[in-house]
């Protein structure tokens, strides 16, 4: 085990003077290796505090790039990093924060093909992602690898933290993510941060708690959130801790197709048109009706002139939809990227029997990239 040098003894002086922490715990941190999946809202404070605390080796998996809309909450980045890969920008930043650690950027998706390989050399995994397929993948890979998982999630004003699959003194392990959520909710019930919004400081709060739990587990101090779910509401400053029992009916034997598991209807083929086709329709004056299923705030930032019918209120607006149907024109539905509008097209077709209703592939993002680059979409 590698020892602390003189510079590190000075750097971590406030840790070394902590009761029940001291030199032994700090040395454990130095010799630990952590995999952080996602360098966004949760990953930002996680990475900063792990690096500051002296976790010796940090692997960062993320294939996304820094965007301007990230800067409201992803405190790891500045405007100068816009367009850079998050994993690389994060590794550079935390390496500058602490020269005694090793930060390794891994610019690739976290998939069932590489998950076991990425987890194998690490002592624990921290999930900083915002989608259910990766959460289930991280959990199952940790269970199969016998590694603890530090879980965190955020939505609007609420955040959650837990420690899953933690080894116990009796040789068993604590509950895992599937004990909390055996099956994922329907995709239409789970808007992401772009759709549902998130208070800018919330990821910092929850990510800091994840870092705290990771440090306790790695250093062997305190009492981790094993078998517990911590829930925090930033709008009221109230929190509660729920007990999580293990589910004897849950058995994990292999990694599966998590996209299919989290979206069983993924095989449904949604009728669609490209942004080039829509632009051609407009140029030719072809009659059609455009529906925008984003939220009001998104529409006010940038829009294509369609009727605003947010997906969250679409089913309650059947009278307005019937008026649109009676025009007997092709209907094009769009959102930010094409996900919400695909759900809307599926519902309009299957539930209301709409014909000639199409999803705009890539949404307004694709339109701005290909047709009108002057449109600023966030």
List 122, 142, 262, 335, catalytic entry:
335
Q: Is 193 among the catalytic positions? A: yes
Instruction: Provide the pLDDT for residue 235.
Output: 93
List 122, 142, 193, 262, catalytic entry:
193
The answer to whether the CB of 174 falls within 8 A of the CB of 226 is yes
In the chain the domains, ranked by start, together with CATH numbers, are 32-266 (3.40.50.720), 268-370 (3.40.250.10)
User: pLDDT category, 267, cuts 50, 70, 90?
Assistant: low
Q: Is 62 exposed, middle or buried (0-12, 13-18, 19+ CB in 10 A)?
A: buried
Give the closest residue to 332 by CA, choosing from 309, 315, 350.
Answer: 309
In the predicted structure, residue 55 carries a pLDDT above the cut 80: yes
In the predicted structure, residue 183 carries a pLDDT above the cut 90: no
Instruction: Provide the pLDDT for residue 49.
Output: 98
pTM summary value = 0.76
The answer to whether the CB of 38 falls within 8 A of the CB of 127 is yes
Q: How confident is the model over 67-110, as pLDDT tens digits? A: 988 888 899 999 999 999 999 999 999 999 999 999 999 999 99
Region 40-59 average pLDDT:
97
Please identify which residue in the block is written with the tokens 């705009």: 360
Q: How confident is the model over 272-316, as pLDDT tens digits? A: 999 999 999 999 999 999 999 988 878 888 899 999 988 878 888
User: pLDDT category, 114, cuts 50, 70, 90?
Assistant: very high
Q: Is 122 among the catalytic positions? A: no
């Amino acid at each position: 085990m590698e020892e602390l040098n003189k510079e590190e003894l000075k750097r971590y002086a406030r840790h070394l003077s902590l009761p029940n922490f001291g030199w032994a715990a700090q040395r454990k941190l130095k010799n630990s290796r952590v995999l952080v999946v996602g360098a966004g809202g949760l990953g930002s404070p996680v990475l900063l505090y792990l690096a500051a605390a002296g976790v010796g080796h940090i692997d960062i998996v993320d294939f996304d790039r820094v965007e301007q809309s990230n800067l409201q909450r992803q405190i790891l980045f500045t405007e100068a990093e816009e367009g850079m890969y998050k994993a690389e920008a994060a590794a550079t930043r935390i390496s500058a924060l602490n020269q005694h650690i090793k930060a390794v950027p891994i610019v690739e998706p976290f998939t069932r093909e590489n998950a076991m390989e990425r987890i194998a050399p690490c002592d624990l995994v921290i999930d900083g992602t915002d989608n259910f397929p990766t959460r289930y993948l991280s959990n199952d890979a940790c269970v199969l690898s016998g590694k603890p998982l530090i879980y965190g999630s955020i939505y609007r004003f609420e955040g959650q933290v837990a420690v899953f699959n933690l080894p116990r003194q009796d040789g068993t392990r604590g509950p895992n993510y599937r004990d909390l959520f055996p099956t994922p909710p329907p995709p239409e019930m789970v808007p992401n941060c772009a759709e549902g919004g998130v208070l800018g400081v919330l990821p910092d709060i929850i990510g800091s708690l994840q870092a705290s739990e990771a440090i306790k587990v790695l250093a062997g101090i305190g009492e981790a959130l094993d078998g517990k779910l911590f829930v925090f509401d930033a709008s009221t400053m109230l929190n509660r801790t729920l007990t999580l029992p293990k589910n004897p009916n849950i058995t994990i034997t292999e990694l599966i197709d998590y996209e299919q598991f989290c979206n069983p209807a993924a095989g449904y083929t949604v009728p669609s048109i490209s942004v080039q086709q829509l632009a051609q329709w407009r140029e030719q004056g072809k009659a059609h009706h455009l529906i925008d299923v984003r939220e009001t705030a998104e529409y006010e930032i940038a829009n294509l002139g369609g009727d605003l019918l947010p997906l969250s209120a679409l089913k309650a607006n059947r009278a307005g939809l019937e008026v649109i149907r009676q025009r007997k024109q092709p209907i094009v539905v769009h959102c930010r990227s094409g996900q919400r509008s695909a759900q809307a097209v599926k519902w309009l077709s299957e539930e209301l029997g709409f014909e000639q209703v199409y999803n705009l592939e890539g949404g307004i993002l694709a339109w701005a990239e290909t047709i009108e680059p002057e449109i600023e979409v966030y």
